[in-house]
Each structure stands twice: as C-alpha cells, then as structure tokens.
C-alpha cells in the first residue's frame, strides 16, 4: 500500500430501514450507532494506511444526498485549539465532522408518513463528480508545469453501504452512473447490510470490477470492511476478495415481466417484449406488418423450457461462499432490468 488511494463512501441513512435493521428480532441486529462506530473505525483505518490517502463520505438520506466529510475541505476552526493528547488529530477531525453532520441532518428529518425514496443516485453521481474533479485538478496541475497539486488518484473507488431495497425508478440513473464509473476507471464496491439483495448494486459491482458482499453477520461489519474493502483494487488481486459469480444479465419483458431468453426489441426505444407486438407500448411506434409475419414465423413454436443456469461444480464454488451468502433466491429470480419497466416507460423528460 505504498501508493495513495482515494475512497468515496456512500452511506445509506434511511431511517426506516435502519430501524428495521436494528430490531432485536433479527438474528444479528446492528443498530445505527454500532454501525457508525464500526464505520468510523474503518474510515480511520483508511486514512491511517497512507498519509496521502483521501476520503469523502456521502450520506444518502430520504429524498436527498449530502456530503458528510471530505478530506479536501479545510479543517474547521473548532479543531484548531489544543488537541486531545490521546487522539490522532485527523481521526478526531474525521469522526466529529461526520457525527456532527449526520446528527444535524437526521434531526432535521421531518416525521413523514411515507419516506421519500433514498437519494442513492444523487450520492453516487456526486461522488463521481468529486472524483472527476479531483482527477481533473491533478492532471491540470501537472500539465501546468509539475506543480505539486492535489494528490493524483491512482485507484479511485466508491464503497456503497446499503440497507435499502432497490428503487425501480432509479434503474436508468444507476446504470448511467455505472457506465460513467467505468469510464473514469472507478471501482464500485457494495456492502449490503440488510434487506433484499440489490440487483442494481450487484450489477454496479460486477461491471466496475468491484465486489458485492451481502453480510451474513451484520454485527461483524468491521471485519468484512477491513478484510474485503480496505485494500485498494490493485492489492485485491493478490488477496482473492470474494467476487460475484451469479450476476444474471437476462432481461424481463415489459409486457408481462417474464424473464425472456429471446426477446423482441423496439428499435426506437429499446423496449423488450416477449411476443411480436404490432405497436410498441412505450413509444407508440407502429411496426411494419411484414416484420411481424416474419418474426411470428421464425418464433420457436413452443417456448422451449429455459435451460437452468449451469451450476458450477461443487469443487469450484465461488469463494464468496465462505464470506458472502450464496442465497438461493439469487438464481434466476433476480434478473437485470425487471424494474426497468417503470424506468423506461417514464415519459421522456
């Protein structure tokens, strides 16, 4: 770990989900306070690994997203006084900045009947913008004549700590964020603490080469964090961090939400149908009769029974078995854009 690295953490702070997560009826409850203390230990470990490591923490709150802490901003005045001799100054700054901004925001939350959807997309895109600016700034400062500007970001990465279920309307924004992360060569790691498996975040981790880990024991969060997410991506190749092997990229049709192997796709809006249809239900495009006849003729007479996904032999089961949970529901039930139905049928903005 001789090279500095940048870490952006997106923390899901949905009050209702954290309430559910901390309930003692769970087998391994993790209340928010315990979570925060473990997370802070992890963040401290990150900035302690290398002097030049940078960090930014985003909070995804209901309906909005905020920057909780950024190592690029100046140290606030309250820390300029005499320090506590028993704490390392950067840790103290990080911990109290984070805790203050979280408590400010959480207290400001109004008591609503229905919680607005979590601002995960906003937090993701903000961290991407942040990384983009950091890497831009470093490249211009070196181009301007070797001035030692902000630290170059060799391995920027984003860690998403999620407790909320997928928001189907955010399929397109999340996919867009994933593709821009790919362009920026940002690795997205996902740590899923509670709730159902997140298909979107699975795809995010898979497409950017990160790891998606569903915590079997949420109360052992710190161990997962330090073992799997602390080392930068370059080091992880040597560490065999658990990877996702079961991400399924098949699509669900827009008409019946069936999982399709062979679909019929509108060339205008890319909606997927399981049968040849005369009119696209999303964009109202009429298709030529000739195509319909041709497709109907070439369509397999009876929908062939879908071959089950070949299961790897027991000897070579993915390593995620040991730490992540290979959930039985992860097989064919979870497919990529089943929620995209809502996303794509939105009226074009």
Partner 1 sequence: MPPRRTGNDYMDVDSDSDVSILDEFEQTTKAKAKGKGKAIDRSKPSKGKSKAKEQPYAWEASYTRSWDTVREDETGSLQGAVQDLIARGRRRRLLAPAAAIRRSIIRHLVLVLDLSTSMMDRDMRPTRFDLMLQYAREFVTEWFDQNPLGQIGVVGMRGGVGERIGEMSGNPQDVLKCISERHKLEPSGDPSLQNAIEMARSSMSHLPTHSSRELVIIFGSLTSCDPGNIHDTLEECVKDRIRISIVALAAEMKICRELCDKTGGMFGVAMNEGHFKDLLFELIPPPAQRALARTGGGGVSNPAADLMMMGFPTRLPNTSPPSLCVCHSQLKSEGFLCPRCLAKVCDVPTDCDICGLMIVSSPHLARSYHHLFPVKPYQPVTSLEETPYADSKCHACAAPFPSNPTQVPGTATEGMSLLGRYRCPDCHHVFCTDCDVFIHDVVHCCPGCGK
Instruction: Map the footprint of partner 1 across residues 74-113, applying CB under 8 A.
Output: none
Rounded least distance, CB 87 to partner 1, Å: 26
Token digits for 331? 């097989």
DSSP secondary structure letter of residue 74: P
Question: Are the CB atoms for 245 and 61 separated by under 8 Å?
Answer: no
Least distance to partner 1 from the beta carbon of 255, Å?
Answer: 13
CA-closest candidate to residue 124, choices 132, 134, 136, 116:
132
Question: Does residue number 7 form part of the binding site for partner 1 (CB under 8 A)?
Answer: no
Q: Looking at residues 115 to 174 of the shown chain, list those that interact with partner 1 (rule: CB under 8 A).
A: 119, 121-122, 125-126, 128-130, 132-133, 136, 139-140, 143-144, 169-173
What does the alpha-carbon distance between residue 179 and residue 141 come to, in Å, rounded to a whole number? 26
Closest CA to 249 of 272, 232, 233, 231: 272
Determine, following the binding rule CB under 8 A, whether residue 322 of this chain makes contact with partner 1. no
Instruction: List the interface residues with partner 1, window 164-183 (CB under 8 A).
Output: 169-173, 175-180, 183
Of 29-37, 89-97, 214-222, 306-314, the segment contacting partner 1 by CB under 8 A is: 306-314
Q: Which of 298, 268, 294, 297 is nearest to 281 (CA)?
A: 268
Burial of residue 227, with CB atoms counted within 10 A of its CB: 0-12 exposed, 13-18 middle, 19 or more buried: middle
Q: How far is the CB of 163 from partner 1 (least distance, A)?
A: 18
Give the whole-angstrom CA distance, residue 12 versus residue 121.
11
Number of residues this chain uses to bind partner 1 (CB under 8 A)? 84
Binding window for partner 1 (CB under 8 A); candidates: 46-54, 87-95, 228-236, 338-346: 338-346
Q: Encode 153-189: b = buried (16+ Cβ within 10 Å), e = exposed.
A: bebbbbbbbbbbbbbbebbebbbebbebbeeebbbbb
The only residue of 16, 103, 234, 312 in contact with partner 1, by rule CB under 8 A: 312
Longest dimension (CA), the chain: 81
Tell me, residue by residue from 262 to 301, as one string, x for binding to partner 1 by CB under 8 A and - for no binding: xxxxxxxxx-xx--xx--x----xxxx--xx--x--x-x-
Q: Site for partner 1 (CB under 8 A): which residue of 313, 322, 328, 329?
A: 313
CB of 243 to partner 1, least distance (A): 9
Stretch of 44-52, 86-94, 211-219, 310-318 contacting partner 1, by CB under 8 A: 310-318
307 binds partner 1 (CB under 8 A): yes
Q: Taking CB under 8 A as the rule, does residue 10 contact partner 1?
A: no
Give the H or E element holding residue 295.
helix 289-298
128 or 221: whose CB is closer to partner 1?
A: 128
Give yes or no for residue 340 binding partner 1 (CB under 8 A): yes
Cα angle, residue 333 at apex, residues 313 and 224 outer, rounded to 5°: 65
Question: Interface residues for partner 1 in 192-211 (CB under 8 A)?
Answer: 203, 207
Name the residue nearer to partner 1 (CB basis): 103 or 136.
136
CB of 44 to partner 1, least distance (A): 21
List binders of partner 1 among 48-77 (CB under 8 A). 65, 67, 70, 72-73
45 binds partner 1 (CB under 8 A): no
Alpha-carbon distance values, 274 to 6, 200, 254, 295, 307 (Å): 44, 22, 8, 12, 17
């Amino acid at each position: 770990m001789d090279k500095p690295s940048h870490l952006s953490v997106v923390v899901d702070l949905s009050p209702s989900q954290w309430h559910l997560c901390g309930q003692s009826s769970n087998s391994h409850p993790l209340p928010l306070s315990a979570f925060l203390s473990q997370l802070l230990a992890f963040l401290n470990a990150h900035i302690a690994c290398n002097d030049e490591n940078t960090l930014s923490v985003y909070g995804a709150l209901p309906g909005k997203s905020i920057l909780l802490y950024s190592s690029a901003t100046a140290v606030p005045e309250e820390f300029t006084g005499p320090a506590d001799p028993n704490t390392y100054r950067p840790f103290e700054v990080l911990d109290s900045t984070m805790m203050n901004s979280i408590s400010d925001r959480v207290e400001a939350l109004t008591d609503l009947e229905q919680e607005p959807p979590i601002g995960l997309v906003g937090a993701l895109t903000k961290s991407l913008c942040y990384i983009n600016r950091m890497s831009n700034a470093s490249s211009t400062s070196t181009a301007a004549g070797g001035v030692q500007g902000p630290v170059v970001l060799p391995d920027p990465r984003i860690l998403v700590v999620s407790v909320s279920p997928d928001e189907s309307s955010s399929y397109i924004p999340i996919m867009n964020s994933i593709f821009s992360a790919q362009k920026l060569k940002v690795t997205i790691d996902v740590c899923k603490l509670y709730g159902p498996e997140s298909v979107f975040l699975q795809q995010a981790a898979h497409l950017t080469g990160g790891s998606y880990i569903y915590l079997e024991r949420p109360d052992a969060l710190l161990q997962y964090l330090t073992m799997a997410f602390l080392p930068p991506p370059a080091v992880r190749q040597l560490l065999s961090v658990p990877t996702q092997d079961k991400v399924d990229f098949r699509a669900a049709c827009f008409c019946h939400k069936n999982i399709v192997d062979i679909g019929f796709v509108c060339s205008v809006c890319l909606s997927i149908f399981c049968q040849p249809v005369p009119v696209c239900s999303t964009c109202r495009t009429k298709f030529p009769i000739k195509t319909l006849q041709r497709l109907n003729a070439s369509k397999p007479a009876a929908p062939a029974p879908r071959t089950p996904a070949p299961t790897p032999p027991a000897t070579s089961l993915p390593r995620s078995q040991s730490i992540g949970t290979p959930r039985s529901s992860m097989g064919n039930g979870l497919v990529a854009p089943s929620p995209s139905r809502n996303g794509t049928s939105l009226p074009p903005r």
